[in-house]
Amino acid sequence: MGAVLAASALVGAVTAPSVDAAPRKNVAEISSSKTLGPLRTDIWVNSPAMGERVKLSVLTPQYSSGPRSTVYLLDGAGADGDVSDWITKGSAGRFFANKNVNVVLPTGGKGSFYTDWTRRDPKLGKPMWETFLAKELPPLIDKRFNGTGRNAVIGLSMGGQAAFALAMRHPSLYTGLASLSGCPPVSGPVNEAYVRTTVGRDGGDATNMWGPFGSAGWKAHDPSLHLDKLRGKNIFLAAGSGAVGPLDLQRRIEPKEGPRDVVTASSSALELGAYRCSLEFAVTLRANNVPYSDGFRLIGTHTWAYWERDLPVLWPVISRGL
């Protein structure tokens, strides 16, 4: 029965989009929606901050009509599909089918770090994700999907850093946060280079995001420099060492990704960088008496097989505040 419900969240009968309201200039609102089975609704939000309509998927529990908290689930840098990778690759529909929460999954965040960019980038434009996610969107979700006003934010890779930056910069909005294979601290040559490389892989220039090397914009988005904003929250960190394991050998490699050995080596290197950065951040949290839980793994690369398995590990931590 559970498998049937989960499947319906992903491929359930599709109804025609409903037009909720004619978009009004300078007002954030849900302009249309489409029901894809009993557990999933896709919505389009007219966002003045982003200057466009933003598509999101919202997962809701099958047997709950009462108020419920909301989890924001953020993709990694390479996500450029019409549906969040958490749905198509991470089995989020199956995992959350029996959880009494709303789950909001944005699309289109490729290379953006889900932040407000300081100036327009030739490739990525001028994303304003922080304003959209932290100010425009929550009241719309709470009103439409019976939210309680209590939220958590979870992200992988690029989205993991964004989860910590959002929670640090909007501490009253989130009770919990999690980073999977991310690099929460962004200050210092090594960490900043990691972020710049991530943005560059999607064609963007991180100078247009937070400014030149070492500038105030980078420090303003570094949670390790604003730890008091994270105190009292349910915090989870996870990353693998980069060592290749059985899940990597079983991984299906699409022809467009390249040769298996090249793809595996790249995934290993990316995860090693995230592992180093996450461990560094964990040491900083501990040194400053900021409690956290972790799921560090001795084996694991930068691939979905591991992030899918991280969800049930982080959930007892994050759900405490929901």
Rounded Cα–Cα distance for residues 157 and 112 (Å): 12
Would you state the pLDDT for residue 25? 66
Q: Which two tokens stand for residue 50?
A: 């982003």
For residue 251, the SS3 value is coil
- Helices 260-287 and 189-201, packing angle to 10 deg: 140
Phi and psi torsions of 260, nearest 5°: -55, -45
> 188 burial class (0-12, 13-18, 19+ CB within 10 angstroms)?
middle
Torsion of CA 188, 194, 195, 199, to 10 degrees: 150
**Residue 208 near residue 120 (C-beta atoms within 8 A):** yes
Would you state the pLDDT for residue 13? 39
Q: What is the mean pLDDT of residues 39-50?
A: 97
Average pLDDT, the chain: 90
Question: For residue 25, what are the contacts with CB-CB under 8 A and spacing of at least 6?
Answer: 48
Rounded Cα–Cα distance for residues 128 and 246 (Å): 39
pLDDT tens digit sequence for 120-146: 999 999 999 999 999 999 999 999 999
What is the dihedral sign for C-alpha 280, 286, 288, 292?
Answer: positive
Would you state the pLDDT for residue 17? 55
Q: What pTM does this model have?
A: 0.91
**Residue 179 near residue 155 (C-beta atoms within 8 A):** yes
Residues of the chain with pLDDT > 70, as a percent, come to 91
Question: For residue 258, what are the contacts with CB-CB under 8 A and spacing of at least 6?
Answer: none
| Residue 23 pLDDT grade (very low, low, confident, very high; cuts 50, 70, 90) | low
Domains of the chain: 2-321 (3.40.50.1820)
Q: What is the mean pLDDT of residues 295-308?
A: 95
| pLDDT for residue 3 is more than 50 | no
Question: For residue 212, what are the contacts with CB-CB under 8 A and spacing of at least 6?
Answer: none
Rounded Cα–Cα distance for residues 38 and 13 (Å): 9
| Residue 7 pLDDT grade (very low, low, confident, very high; cuts 50, 70, 90) | very low
